């Protein structure tokens, strides 16, 4: 059995795909969406975007939305090996936030407002995304970039396994060229030697005049983009400042905090959500009801409930 990965699109076989998680952990894949993404037409949240009149039960829309709960999970190993860790991290964030209230000693703490709330599940692709300055640990960012590069390499190995022979010949050619270039540089350095070590090519390059030295840039040394701060215990650490696009903050409800529920509306299907496994939208029950009645005007949960009650009353009167 061969098919594309539901997350990255890489063609993988059954042996290269991850083992499907248990049915009991399907509820952990939900990510809460912001208000704009919930009210947006369903076709705007899929790739490629579709027109608002496209029905949910159509083949194109069914291929674009999440099918992890019905058709099963089909992910390649690079995409699926970290989904459980991501689920645990996301659940821990909500459990931690449920322990705090919006009011502390009569003063508003601001939890859930501005940039302090939980971001939309679509992250930078959110309908209400905005650019903000974000400070990150430089060492952690470098490690994250290395992990991303390793993930891309794993995907290339999974997708180009049949071209291993050509890649081996390419690497051999590259190693030969690098050896030849090193030999030529060493011979040039030996010819430039005038009797003392300072006259070698390396010495000439290192002892250049001041006017030939490169001007320091913020990317290489401490500056606005990268600066040093004093951490815990007096340890100096480097902080990287970037302008990144982040999603809007998602809403929170008091009843979830009182009951200790985590994403209760998304798990029950009352609210549209985002799948953290396949990165696709999970339609709500209201989406299917509105689609059956030929409308795509999604407002909120309260309006959907009142609209559903009115339709039930009309059905009883007609009966």
Among the residue ranges 38-47, 94-103, 152-161, 187-196, the one predicted with the least confidence is 187-196
Q: Are residues 283 and 235 in the same domain?
A: no
Last residue of a domain, one of 215, 246, 277: 246
Q: Same structural domain for residues 153 and 300?
A: no
Question: What is the mean pLDDT of the segment spanning 29-55?
Answer: 92
Confidence band, pLDDT 50/70/90 cuts, at residue 155 = confident
**Considering the domain boundaries, does residue 10 fall inside one?**
yes
Q: Contact at 8 Å (CB) between 159 and 11?
A: yes
- What integer pLDDT is reported at residue 217 of this predicted model? 44
Q: Identify the domain containing residue 135 by its residue range.
A: 130-159+224-246
Q: Are residues 134 and 271 in the same domain?
A: no
pLDDT value at 265 more than 80: yes
pLDDT score at 85: 94
* Span 11-18, average pLDDT: 91
Q: What mean pLDDT, rounded, does the chain reach?
A: 74
Band of residue 157 on the pLDDT scale cut at 50, 70, 90: confident
Domain annotation covers residue 194? no
In the predicted model, what is the mean pLDDT of residues 10-23?
Answer: 90
Same domain, 116 and 79: yes
Q: Identify whether 300 is part of a domain.
A: yes
* Phi-psi map region of 72: left, alpha, beta (phi>0 left; psi -120 to 50 alpha): left
DSSP 66-116: --TTTT----BHHHHTTHHHHHHHHHHHHHHHTTS-SEETTEE--TTSTTS
pLDDT at residue 45 in the model? 94
pLDDT per position as a tens digit, 206-219 = 444 444 444 444 44
pTM of the full predicted structure?
Answer: 0.65
212 is a domain residue? no
Would the pLDDT of 62 be above 70? yes
Same domain assignment for residues 237 and 286:
no
Give the residue, 16 or 258, on which the prediction is more confident. Answer: 16
Check pLDDT > 80 for residue 205.
Answer: no
- Round to the nearest angstrom and report the end-to-end CA distance of the chain: 50
Nearest-CA neighbor of 41 among 49, 31, 33?
A: 49
Residue ending a domain, among 198, 214, 246, is 246
Residues 134 and 242 in one domain: yes
Please indicate, yes or no, whether residues 141 and 72 belong to a single structural domain of this protein. Answer: no
Q: Are residues 241 and 254 in the same domain?
A: no
Mean pLDDT over 245-257 rounds to: 86
> Residue 288: which residues within 8 A CB-CB, separation 6 or more?
56
In a domain, 172, yes or no: no
Q: What is the pLDDT of residue 180?
A: 52
- Residues 305 and 239 placed together within one structural domain of the fold: no
User: Which of 246, 281, 299 corresponds to the end of one domain?
Assistant: 246
- What SS3 class is residue 281? strand
Mean pLDDT of 247-275: 88
For residue 174, the model assigns a pLDDT of 52
Q: Is the pLDDT of residue 87 over 50?
A: yes
Please give the pLDDT value at position 197.
41
* % residues pLDDT > 90 (the chain): 30
CB atoms inside a 10 Å sphere around CB 74: 21
Q: Give yes or no: residues 96 and 134 share one domain.
A: no
pLDDT for position 209: 43
pLDDT in the model for residue 172 = 54
pLDDT at 290: 86
Q: Give the number of domains in the chain.
A: 2
- Per-residue model confidence (pLDDT) at position 186: 53
Residue 105 binned pLDDT confidence (cut-offs 50, 70, 90):
very low
Q: Are residues 256 and 300 in the same domain?
A: yes
pLDDT at 54 over 70: yes
Q: Does some domain include residue 198?
A: no
Mean predicted confidence (pLDDT) in 243-250: 88
Q: Is residue 188 part of a domain?
A: no
Residues 85 and 152 in one domain: no
Q: What is the pLDDT of residue 34?
A: 93
pLDDT on residue 241: 81
Q: What is the mean pLDDT of residues 293-317?
A: 52
For the chain, state the CA radius of gyration. 28
Q: Give residue 37's pLDDT band: very low, low, confident or very high (50, 70, 90).
A: very high
Report the candidate in 30, 137, 126 with the shortest Cα–Cα distance to residue 83.
Answer: 30
In a domain, 65, yes or no: yes
């Amino acid at each position: 059995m061969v098919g594309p990965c539901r997350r990255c699109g890489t063609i993988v076989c059954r042996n290269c795909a991850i083992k499907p998680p248990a049915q009991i952990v399907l509820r952990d894949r939900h990510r809460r969406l912001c208000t704009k993404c919930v009210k947006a037409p369903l076709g705007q949240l899929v790739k490629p975007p579709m027109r608002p009149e496209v029905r949910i039960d159509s083949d194109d829309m069914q291929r674009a939305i999440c099918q992890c709960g019905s058709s099963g999970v089909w992910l390649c190993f690079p995409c699926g090996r970290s989904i459980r860790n991501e689920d645990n991290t996301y659940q821990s964030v909500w459990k931690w936030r449920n322990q705090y209230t919006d009011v502390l000693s009569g003063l508003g703490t601001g939890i859930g407002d501005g940039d302090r709330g939980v971001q939309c599940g679509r992250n930078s692709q959110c309908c209400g995304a905005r650019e903000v300055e974000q400070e990150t640990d430089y060492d952690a960012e470098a490690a994250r970039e290395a992990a991303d590069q390793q993930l891309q390499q794993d995907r290339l190995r999974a997708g180009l396994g049949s071209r291993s022979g050509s890649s081996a010949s390419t690497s051999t050619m590259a190693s030969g060229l690098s050896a030849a270039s090193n030999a030529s540089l060493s011979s040039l350095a030996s010819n430039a030697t005038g009797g003392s070590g300072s006259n070698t090519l390396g010495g000439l390059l290192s002892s250049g005049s001041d006017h030939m030295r490169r001007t320091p840039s913020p990317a290489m040394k401490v500056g606005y983009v990268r600066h040093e701060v004093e951490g815990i215990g007096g340890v100096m650490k480097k902080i990287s400042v970037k302008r990144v696009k982040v999603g809007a903050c998602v809403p929170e409800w008091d009843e979830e905090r009182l009951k200790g529920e985590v994403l209760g509306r998304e798990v029950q299907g009352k609210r549209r959500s985002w799948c953290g496994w396949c990165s696709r939208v999970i339609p709500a029950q209201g989406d299917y009801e509105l689609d059956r009645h030929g409308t795509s005007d999604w407002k909120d949960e309260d309006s959907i409930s009142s609209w559903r009650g009115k339709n039930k009353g009309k059905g009883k009167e007609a009966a």
